[in-house]
Amino acid sequence: MERLDKVLANLGYGSRKDVKKIIKSGEVKIDGEVIKDNNYQLDPIKSTIKVNGEEVTYKKNIYLMMNKPDGVISATFDDYDRTVIDLLEEQHKVFDPFPVGRLDKDTVGLLLLTNDGELNHRLISPKWHVDKVYYAKIDSELNKNDIEEFKKGIILDDGYKCMPAKLEILKADENESEVKVTVQEGKYHQVKRMFQSLDKKVIYLKRLSFGGLNLDERLDEGEYRELTVSELEKLRIICKIC
C-alpha cells in the first residue's frame, strides 16, 4: 500500500506540495470515489486512479542513465558537495532514486539511477558478473605485461585479489597511455587501485558502459534521460530478473 500523494507525485503531477493541492481540490478519484486525504493508502496497481476524470496508469519505478560530471558525488546526500540527485528534476526526484554503485567525485560517464532495489542489488553484486567498461588515461606507458596482470587478477594494496579483468591498450607512448578496462566488480576506487598496484596513475576516468548499456553520447556531462524499454529489458536479462 502507498500514500496517495506519493503515488501522484510519481505519476508526474508535480512535487508532493503540488499534489497535495490537487488532492484537496477534489480532482482525484480512487475506484470511483473522490479522495481528499493525502495520507489515503492505496494499492496503485489494483486501484483505478482518475485525475480530472482521466484515468492514469501507475509507474512504480524509475530508471535513469546519467552522464555524470566531474566534481559531483554519487550519493543521495552530502554535507558539502553537490550530489547526482541535485542534478535531477523534481518530477524524477519524487521517485527517490539512488545511484547504482558509485563513481568517484572526479570520474565522469555512465551512472544508472533507480529506486528498484532488486535490480540495483544484482547490478552491483559481483555474483552476476555484470561488465563495467571504463576509458582511462594513464600517466605512463603500458605494455603486454600489464594486459597479462589484469587477466591474472591484480592484487590490490589491501591484499585483495581482483577477479580477472580485461585491459585493452588504445594508445601508448612513454608519457601517457589510453586504455579500455572491463571489470565485473566494484571495489572502492577499483580501477585506480588496480593501476596503482602496477605503479601507474589514472589521470582521467570515464565509464563507457554498464551491464551492456552504453553511455548515450548525446548526453552532455550532467544530463540524463530515462532508460528505453529495450535498455531496461537488457538489464533485466543480464541480471536474470524475469
* Residue nearer to ligand URA on the CB measure, 6 or 189: 189
Stretch touching ligand URA by CB under 6 A, among 34-42, 56-64, 100-108, 215-223: 100-108
CB of residue 186 vs ligand URA: minimum separation in angstroms?
Answer: 7
Q: Which of residues 103-162 bind ligand URA (CB under 6 A)?
A: 103-104, 107
CB of residue 189 vs ligand URA: minimum separation in angstroms?
Answer: 4
Q: What is the pairing mode between strands 108-114 and 202-210?
A: parallel
104 is catalytic: yes
Q: Which of 70, 78, 104, 131 is catalytic?
A: 104
* Residue nearer to ligand URA on the CB measure, 7 or 100: 100
Contact between 205 and 138 (Cβ < 8 Å): no
* Residue nearer to ligand URA on the CB measure, 10 or 107: 107
CA 224 to chain CA mean position, Å: 10
Q: Which of residues 201-220 bind ligand URA (CB under 6 A)?
A: 205
CB of residue 106 vs ligand URA: minimum separation in angstroms?
Answer: 8
Q: In the structure grid, which three cell numbers stand for residue 206, read together?
A: 570515464
- 3 class by beta-carbon count within 10 Å (0-12 exposed, 13-18 middle, 19+ buried): middle
* Residue nearer to ligand URA on the CB measure, 23 or 72: 72
**Residue carrying C-alpha cell 589484469:** 150
- Residue 108's nearest CA partner among 78, 66, 143, 147 is 66
- State yes or no: residue 100 binds ligand URA (CB under 6 A): no
3-state SS class at 137:
strand
Stretch touching ligand URA by CB under 6 A, among 115-123, 143-151, 187-195, 217-225: 187-195
3-state SS class at 63:
strand
Separation CA 124–CA 161 (nearest Å)? 18
Dihedral of alpha carbons 117, 123, 125, 127, sign: positive
**What is the amino acid identity at position 163?**
M
* Residue nearer to ligand URA on the CB measure, 61 or 182: 182
Q: Which residues form the catalytic set?
A: 104
> What residues make contact with ligand URA under the rule CB under 6 A?
103-104, 107, 189-192, 205
